[in-house]
A and B are shown apart, each in its own frame.
Chain A
C-alpha cells in the first residue's frame, strides 16, 4: 500500500525549533519529488516546500525562506522539514505529499498530517 506517515509535530514556543519527518512506503521513494503543504486551523491549503529526487533542488514559499528547510534521506525513505525561528503564524497541520511531474505537477499521495502549534 502506498503510504506517507508524518510525525514530529507538537507544541513549541515562538522562536523555537521542531523537526518533522515523513516516512514513505509502498513506492520507490527516490523516484519522486516530495513536498510539504500546510493548513492553518480553519484555513485553506498553503504549499510550503518542494524537493527533487536527489535533494539538489529545493523551493520554498517566500514566508518560510531562511527558517524552514526541506530535506530527504532516500536510504531511509524519509522526508524532513527542519523548522527554526518558528512564529505563531506557522501553526498548522503539516502534510507530506508526493509531487508527480508527469501529471502536471500534482500531489497524488498525501499523509494524514501532523499538527504544529506555536504558542507561548
Chain B
C-alpha cells in the first residue's frame, strides 16, 4: 500500500504570508500513460466535509482561488498558499488512488494564523 506522509503536522503563518505544505508518497504516483501525477489536495474546515482544491498534482479545481497552487512529481509534492487569508485556516490533506483505486490520505496538516 502507498503511504502518504505530510509535513509539517501543523503550521502557523501570518496573514499575507506564504504557507507551504509537503506530501511524500512511499511510491511514485506518476502515470506513465499520460505523464500526470495522481495526487490531489483537499481543504477541510471544522464541521465541514473536505473540499477538493487541486488534482493531477497541479490543476486547480474550478472556483479555487489562484493563491492555491500545487507542484511536484513522482513522490514529492507541495501545496503552496501565497498571501494567506483568514479563511484559509483549515486542515489540508493530500490523497492518492494510484494504480488500483485503493486510496490513501496523508495524516493532515493544520494551518493556523500566527
Write the residues of chain A forming the contact surface with B, with a CB cutoff of 8 angstroms: 33, 35, 37, 44-47, 50, 57, 59, 61-62, 95, 99-101, 103-108, 110-113
Contact = CB atoms under 8 A, between A and B. Distances in A.
Given A47-B103, A106-B95, A111 B49 contact: yes
A33 B36 contact: no
State which size class the interface on B falls in. 20 to 34
A13 B51 CA distance: 32
A45 B93 contact: yes
B87 to A, nearest CB: 18
A110 B55 contact: no
Contact of B50 (A50, A57, A100, A110): A110
Given A33-B101, A44-B93, A50-B101, A108 B52 contact: yes
Contacts of A113: 49
B97 interface: yes
Interface in B37-52: 37-40, 42, 44, 49-52
Contacts of B98: 105
Contacts of A100: 55
Contact of A103 (B51, B59, B106, B107): B59
A50 B102 contact: yes
A111 B57 CA distance: 23
Given A104-B56, A106-B40, A110-B50, A45 B100 contact: no
Given A45-B50, A95-B49, A111-B49, A105 B107 contact: no
B25 interface: no
Contacts of B51: 110
Most buried by A among B37, B100, B102: B102
A103 B55 contact: yes
Interface string B77-114: 00000000000000101011110111111111000000
B17 interface: no
A83 to B, nearest CB: 19
B46 to A, nearest CB: 11
12 contacts: A37-B50, A44-B91, A44-B93, A47-B104, A47-B105, A50-B103, A99-B101, A103-B56, A104-B38, A104-B97, A106-B97, A108-B55
